Amino acid sequence: MKTEMIAIEKIDPPKDIIRDQIDPESVRELAESIREQGLLQPILLRSNGNRYEVVAGHRRLLAHRLIGLTEIKAFVRTLTDEETLVLRATENLQREDLSPIEEAKVYGRLRQKMGLSIEEIARKMGKNRITVKKHLKLLELPEYIQDYVDRGTLSMQVGLKLNEIKDEELQRYYVGCAVEHGITAKVADMWVDDYEASKRGNYYESSRGRGEEEIKIEPAPIFVTCFVCHGPAEVGDITSVQICRACYNEVLLSRSKKKSMKGGIENGN
């Protein structure tokens, strides 16, 4: 496939964008790189009458515009909407900075617009079906949990687990604690188990024959992950300490060495 020089004024942005926002700083850095070294990888366009639509390389197009270039090197292909969607999805999945929610949206668009099953999506994208299924479940999360996962302040495993708490007020309470303290999936399992145990005991039989009535569920004790032993600890037992990254790593390294020495002595005995 040969490249062509296409006038930037004739190029339209992609109609179906996975990422809601593009980091302007990354575009600026790319623009400086293109200014110094030129465009290393042509963009991919599809013809649309006398105009063109970006299939892959939107950031490269924005970088060209930023430094005032009027033309860009491109591959031009005649593509259907379905072919464009698959190619755009493939390019997005190859990005290193793709968040779990953005990856989920890629699979969601393939399912919604092409009617693909989980198995078909996995095959077209070269992914494990379990990976595709788990990411699609992220799209079922409340929007505020999706936002935390998208920003990286809550892991997808913890977000999915805490979504099993169906009491909205309690769910927000637990999610807030998870974001504030940082927890592992193991601790999230404990929280959900506590919630389920509380829920099983939240009914009583009325002596007036009104049947079962729900009573308020009090939040169970909150556990967070200890950074030293990595075990669960109640929030009330956690002490906050201001510590730099170097000292933090030294503490963990020292602890690891002590465990190794202890194991060697025990084996020697």
pLDDT tens sequence across 45-91 = 999 888 999 999 999 999 999 999 999 999 999 999 899 999 989 88
pLDDT at 72: 96
| CA proximity to 125, closest of 100, 94, 99 | 94
Q: Judge if 195 and 121 occupy the same domain.
A: no
In a domain, 269, yes or no: no
Residue 164 has pLDDT above 60, yes or no: yes
Residue range(s) defining the domain that contains residue 116 = 80-140
Q: Judge if 69 and 106 occupy the same domain.
A: no
| Of the residues 140, 162, 192, the one at which a domain ends | 140
pLDDT at 211: 43
Q: List pLDDT tens digits, range 122-162.
A: 999 999 999 999 999 999 999 999 999 999 999 999 999 99
First to last CA, the chain: 70
Q: Confirm if 202 and 215 have CB atoms less than 8 A apart.
A: yes
Cα dihedral value 132, 138, 139, 143, nearest 10: -160
pLDDT at 213: 45
In a domain, 209, yes or no: no
pLDDT at 268: 53
Q: Judge if 174 and 250 occupy the same domain.
A: yes
| Of the residues 95, 121, 140, the one at which a domain ends | 140
**Residues above pLDDT 70, as percent of the chain:** 74
Range in 3-17, 98-112, 171-185, 219-233 with the lowest mean pLDDT: 219-233
- With helix as H, strand as E and coil as C, how does 116-183 read? CCHHHHHHHHCCCHHHHHHHHHHCCCCHHHHHHHHHCCCCHHHHHHHCCCCCHHHHHHHHHHHHHHCC
| Of the residues 88, 115, 140, the one at which a domain ends | 140
Residue 9 has pLDDT above 70, yes or no: yes
Provide the number of structural domains found in the chain.
3
- Single-letter amino acid, residue 131: T
How far is Cα 44 from Cα 57, in angstroms, rounded to an integer?
Answer: 7
In a domain, 221, yes or no: yes
Range in 97-101, 141-145, 174-178, 239-243 with the lowest mean pLDDT: 239-243
Higher pLDDT, 21 or 29: 29
Q: Judge if 41 and 112 occupy the same domain.
A: no
pLDDT at 220: 57
**In the numeric block, which tokens belong to residue 96?**
């290193």
Q: Judge if 61 and 85 occupy the same domain.
A: no
pLDDT at 261: 55
Output the domain CATH number for residue 130: 1.10.10.2830
| CA proximity to 100, closest of 132, 144, 124 | 132
Residue 210 has pLDDT above 80, yes or no: no
pLDDT at 96: 72
Higher pLDDT, 170 or 222: 170
pTM attached to this predicted model? 0.66
Tell me the average pLDDT across 25-33: 92
Question: How many CA atoms does the CB half-sphere of 36 hold within 13 Å?
Answer: 6
Q: Judge if 100 and 59 occupy the same domain.
A: no
**In the numeric block, which tokens belong to residue 168?**
């909205």
